[in-house]
Amino acid sequence: MLKNIPAIISPELLKTLCEMGHSDRIVIADGNFPACSMGKNCKVIRADGHGVPELLDAILTLMPLDTYVEKPVSLMAVMQGDTAKTPIWEEYKAIIAKHDERGADTVGEIERFEFYEQAKTAYAIIATGEKAVYANIMLQKGVI
């Protein structure tokens, strides 16, 4: 056991966060995200049974967001014509504001298929059991 490490952070995830360098990206994916096919060239970490907000909060407790880019946090934009609602995004923004003084200003949206392309080049993808739609979020690591 270690002190001050959120219990939701598995040893594998902790190791991955430590290995990541400045500008590396990590995706926290909802339960519908094709994590294994998108993550063929990166680490895929299973976090079944956990939601994205809890993991986001725990990760941001340990990992700084990049300050050298305008939007170090990316959300998968809702497809044109889709009527899905994304109330979980407000949760994300509140969590981010708790850990980064820039708050919601760190958050941008990426078109769905572009999000997939960028996810393929991420350092890691965390596959969660999150049931909310469009709940995928990508974080770019900063420096301490």
- CATH code where residue 60 lies: 3.40.1650.10
116 is catalytic: yes
Identify the pLDDT of residue 2: 86
Is residue 9 domain-resident? Answer: no
> For residue 41, how far is the Cα from the chain centroid?
17
Is residue 51 domain-resident? Answer: yes
Is residue 27 domain-resident? Answer: yes
Residues spanned by the domain of 92 = 22-140
Is residue 3 domain-resident? Answer: no
Q: Of residues 50, 66, 100, 123, which has the active-site annotation? A: 66
User: Do residues 77 and 110 make contact, with C-beta atoms less than 8 angstroms apart?
Assistant: yes
Per-residue pLDDT of 42-67, as tens digits, reads 999 999 999 999 999 999 999 999 99
Structural domain total, the chain: 1
92 is catalytic: no
pLDDT category at 1 given cuts 50, 70, 90 is confident
Is residue 133 domain-resident? Answer: yes
Burial of 27-65, coded b for 16+ CB within 10 Å and e otherwise, reads: bbbbbebebeebbeebbbbebeebbbbbbbbbbbeebeb
What are phi and psi for residue 45, nearest 5 degrees? -110, 125
68 is catalytic: no
Is residue 5 domain-resident? Answer: no
Q: Give me the half-sphere count of Cα atoms (radius 13 Å) on the Cβ side of residue 106.
A: 28
